[in-house]
Amino acid sequence: MDAIELDDLAFYDTTDLCDVEDLLFLPLSNDAPIKPKKRIRKRHADEMRYLQATVAELTSQLSVLETKKFDLVAGSKWEHIARRQAEEAQVAIQKNQRLKEALEEQLHLAQSLQKIFAKKTKVEALCDDVYVPCQLSMDPIARAASMRALLNAQYAKLESAFVQYGMVDVAVPYRKTEIINEDAFNRLLLTHVGAMVAPRPVAATAASIWDFLQLETPVVMPSFMMKRLERVDEDVIYMQFVAFCPGIPDMRTNYCIGRYADGDRVSIVMRTIGNDAPSTHAISTGDSSQ
């Protein structure tokens, strides 16, 4: 079938020919101009109008923001100065508070030391009401059981002591010394609490401390000496600490030391032993633990 030329269809309106979808298969002559569809032209025109409106709106918003920017820059200089002065004042207040607390602690310590020199009382009467004799048996099995019982009792008080002295989840080095004057018992109670944060894994740090406390060889220094008396088991050590004080007799204290592991936490507990037949020179009867 021969192709139908547009000249043969002159009785049709050529402006409507492109809108008749049923005749789109008819080939056009090379001389006939190709007209785009009206719908496509209208969509392009709508998109152009939308983009022009958007550009105009954004340009208007940008001009408003540029105007406000100069106002903010003019006022921000004084705002920055005021904010910086407020921060410096807050830092100064915190420093003054820490200095005040340190001075109060030093003053309290000095007053307590002054009372120590003013008191005239017998040393053996200071701790009679709180000291509980911890006589160790000579039988090896009973002796080990007694040490373990003393350490277990001390370990049970560890958590409450942490809460009492504010050491739960401590994240910075901490130290506190508290001296209480108990006139009813005619005594002074000295409590020292300290915490150190080490940038090392807990397991490695605890292992290093425990290896040192093994005291495979005695530690002898000009002012003190440490030696191991017994190794009860893998987690219990019995050792002696001697302080050399010029002009007065040596001070000897026996310590029972236990290691406790609870998950990722390792606790090392120390307990003084006051009465022990194999070490009759242990004269200290204080309750020292950590």
In a domain, residue 209? The reply is yes
User: Quick one: pLDDT at residue 188?
Assistant: 74
Question: Is residue 45 over pLDDT 70?
Answer: yes
In a domain, residue 16? The reply is no
In a domain, residue 154? The reply is yes
Residue 97, helix vs strand vs coil:
helix
User: Quick one: pLDDT at residue 7?
Assistant: 45
Residue 208: give its domain's CATH number: 3.30.530
- Tell me which of 10 and 273 has the higher pLDDT: 273
Nearest partner of 159 among 272, 267, 287, 288, judged by Cα: 267
- Tell me which of 168 and 36 has the higher pLDDT: 168
In a domain, residue 284? The reply is no
Amino acid at 147: M
Mean pLDDT across the chain: 75
Asked if residues 245 and 182 have their Cβ atoms less than 8 Å apart, the reply is no
- For residues 41 and 48, what is the distance between their CA atoms, to the nearest angstrom? 11
- The neighbouring-strand residues paired with 261 are 266
In a domain, residue 37? The reply is no
Mean pLDDT, residues 36-63 taken together: 79
Q: Which of the residue ranges 69-83, 140-154, 175-189 would you say has the lowest mean pLDDT?
A: 69-83
Q: Which helix (H) or strand (E) holds 117?
A: helix 38-118
Mean pLDDT, residues 11-32 taken together: 47
- Tell me which of 182 and 18 has the higher pLDDT: 182
In a domain, residue 60? The reply is no
- What is the residue range of 142's domain? 122-273
In a domain, residue 245? The reply is yes
Number of domains the chain contains: 1
In a domain, residue 36? The reply is no
User: Quick one: pLDDT at residue 290?
Assistant: 38
Going by C-beta distance under 8 Å and a sequence separation of 6 or more, which residues neighbour residue 97? none
